[in-house]
Amino acid sequence: ALTIGIVGLPNVGKSTLFNALTKNDVLAANYPFATIEPNVGVVSLPDPRLARLAEVFHSERILPATVSFVDIAGIVRGASEGEGLGNQFLANIREADAIAQVVRGFTDDDVVHVEGGVNPKNDLETINAELMLADLQTLEKAIPRLEKDVKGKRADPATLEAAVAAKDALERGILLSHSGLDLAPIREYGLMTAKPYIYVFNVDEAVLTDAAAKAELEALVAPAHAVFLDAKIESELIDLDPDDAAELLASTGQEESGIDQLARIGFDTLGLQTYLTAGPKEARAWTIAKGSKAPQAAGVIHTDFEKGFIKAEVISFEDLIDAGSVLEARHRGKARLEGKDYVMHDGDVVEFRFNV
Ligand code: GDP
């Protein structure tokens, strides 16, 4: 599965957030045979549609899609030079598919700030500079080898060209994800600033409802997504039953927990979407890449479904709920039979027809 790596300076609340993520772990509850890794937190993608489907189909259980977060310890100034535990952690970040950078916004005199004071802009610059330097080092090592390999016709000149262009952008202080370059030829290098980013501002409770303060922080990271949460509140929320949790959330002026927001935005940032299936056994969301066609979507359930794909019967979630049953939806002409070129939509409720 695709994963989101959590990074940030020390003492910004990464562990507090990650503990909340792992306590929320859906694997233990829903996938009894899954191996649970200590540094991975798997949370469900919130999707209220599943509960509605489960009502219509009298499903025994609900299986949401999931989002995986990996805890990667703090980065300090000098990490790219191997300062402290730097390099090993950078290696872990290279393996993540997207990055969630936690930035400290909370004030607390009892919690030391490693850079001397709470200053989100400065912290962002410190981390981004370290990641850019590390990427630059990767490219400086790769380019001479690529030059040799291109001469010896063992490497594609397009790879070298992309590497040189990326190095040039980094030298000008540009994050690769903002460079507009085609980075596909150099994907294998796991360049960290080429990955999609989410910024998680760990702020005081008062900031959660302060639109102006949030807009200011958001502007520091645009066009990337920003999530605002209070990691301390998140760690309290997970220990409460749903009613009490809803009450606490409401008292902080939020409609959705920070972890739910992070799951939703993370899922989207990874380039993923879902489609739905429902029956008496389960109402379930399946994860596919955005833009997937029907046979690939079927393949997520079982490889035989993809190989033997014939058609997909698709009803949109809204039409199905309006109709109240698959039979009634068919009767109303709302059930479509789609072929192998159909591009899946979010909210499609699907039943596949296939040969075995
Ligand atoms: P990490 O080094 O980034 O993993 O940071 P930790 O999660 O260990 O947090 C460092 C300290 O800050 C701990 O004492 C936390 O209890 C505290 N902390 C974390 N999040 C918050 C927060 O949102 N508000 C306040 N006041 N303290 C926090």
Residue 347 Cβ inside 6 Å of ligand 1? The answer reads no
Residue 73 Cβ inside 6 Å of ligand 1? The answer reads no
If you average pLDDT over residues 315-332, what whole number do you get? 96
Q: Which atom of ligand 1 is nearest to the CA of 73?
A: 4
If you average pLDDT over residues 344-348, what whole number do you get? 95
If you average pLDDT over residues 73-77, what whole number do you get? 66
* 83 Cα: distance to centroid of ligand 1 (angstroms): 22
Confidence of residue 195 (pLDDT cuts 50, 70, 90): very high
If you average pLDDT over residues 287-296, what whole number do you get? 96
- State percent of the chain over pLDDT 70: 91
- Asked whether residue 202 carries a pLDDT value surpassing 80, the answer given is yes
Type of residue found at 19: N
Residue nearest to atom 10 of ligand 1 (CA): 11
Distance (Å, whole) CA 239 – CA 23: 9
pLDDT at 95: 86
Output Rg (C-alpha) for the chain, integer angstroms. Answer: 23
Confidence of residue 1 (pLDDT cuts 50, 70, 90): confident
Distance (Å, whole) CA 245 – CA 20: 13
Contacts within 8 Å (CB) and 24+ apart, 124-131: 124/199, 124/220, 124/221, 126/9, 126/77, 127/7, 127/8, 127/9, 127/75, 127/101, 128/175, 128/193, 130/75, 130/77, 130/78, 130/79, 130/80, 131/75, 131/80, 131/93, 131/192, 131/193
pLDDT at 71: 83
Confidence of residue 151 (pLDDT cuts 50, 70, 90): very high
More confident residue, 336 or 82: 336
Instruction: Give the model confidence (pLDDT) of 326-342 as tens digits.
Output: 999 999 999 999 999 99
* 42 Cα: distance to centroid of ligand 1 (angstroms): 21
* 106 Cα: distance to centroid of ligand 1 (angstroms): 9
pLDDT at 110: 78
pLDDT at 22: 82
Confidence of residue 73 (pLDDT cuts 50, 70, 90): low
* Model pTM score: 0.88
Homologous superfamily of domain range 291-354: Beta-grasp domain (3.10.20.30)
Residue nearest to atom 2 of ligand 1 (CA): 11
Residue 105 Cβ inside 6 Å of ligand 1? The answer reads no
- Going by C-alpha positions, the residue among 139, 126, 137 that lies closest to residue 7 is 126
More confident residue, 71 or 260: 260
Neighbours of 337 (CB within 10 A): 11
Helix (H, G, I), strand (E, B) or coil at 206: helix
- Asked whether residue 228 carries a pLDDT value surpassing 60, the answer given is yes
* 9 Cα: distance to centroid of ligand 1 (angstroms): 11
User: What is the average pLDDT score of the chain?
Assistant: 90
Mutating to test ligand 1, I would choose from 15, 16, 114 the residue with most ligand atoms within 8 A of its C-beta, which is: 16
Mutating to test ligand 1, I would choose from 111, 112, 207 the residue with most ligand atoms within 8 A of its C-beta, which is: 111
Instruction: Give the model confidence (pLDDT) of 106-146 as tens digits.
Output: 888 777 777 777 789 999 999 899 899 989 999 999 999 99
- Asked whether residue 320 carries a pLDDT value surpassing 90, the answer given is yes
Residue 14 Cβ inside 6 Å of ligand 1? The answer reads yes
pLDDT at 118: 79
pLDDT at 80: 66
More confident residue, 37 or 260: 260
Instruction: Give the model confidence (pLDDT) of 233-265 as tens digits.
Output: 999 998 899 899 999 999 998 889 999 999 999
- Asked whether residue 24 carries a pLDDT value surpassing 70, the answer given is no
Distance (Å, whole) CA 44 – CA 27: 9
CA distances, 342 to each of 138, 277, 314 (Å): 40, 17, 10
Confidence of residue 19 (pLDDT cuts 50, 70, 90): confident
- State percent of the chain over pLDDT 90: 72
Q: Which atom of ligand 1 is nearest to the CA of 229?
A: 23
Residue nearest to atom 26 of ligand 1 (CA): 108
Confidence of residue 197 (pLDDT cuts 50, 70, 90): very high
Look at the alpha carbons of 66, 71, 77, 79 in this order and tell me if their dihedral is positive or negative.
negative
Confidence of residue 184 (pLDDT cuts 50, 70, 90): very high
- Asked whether residue 28 carries a pLDDT value surpassing 60, the answer given is no
pLDDT at 40: 85
pLDDT at 355: 85
If you average pLDDT over residues 26-33, what whole number do you get? 59
* 17 Cα: distance to centroid of ligand 1 (angstroms): 8
Residue 120 Cβ inside 6 Å of ligand 1? The answer reads no
Contacts of 247 (CB under 8 A, 6+ apart): none
Q: Which atom of ligand 1 is nearest to the CA of 12?
A: 3
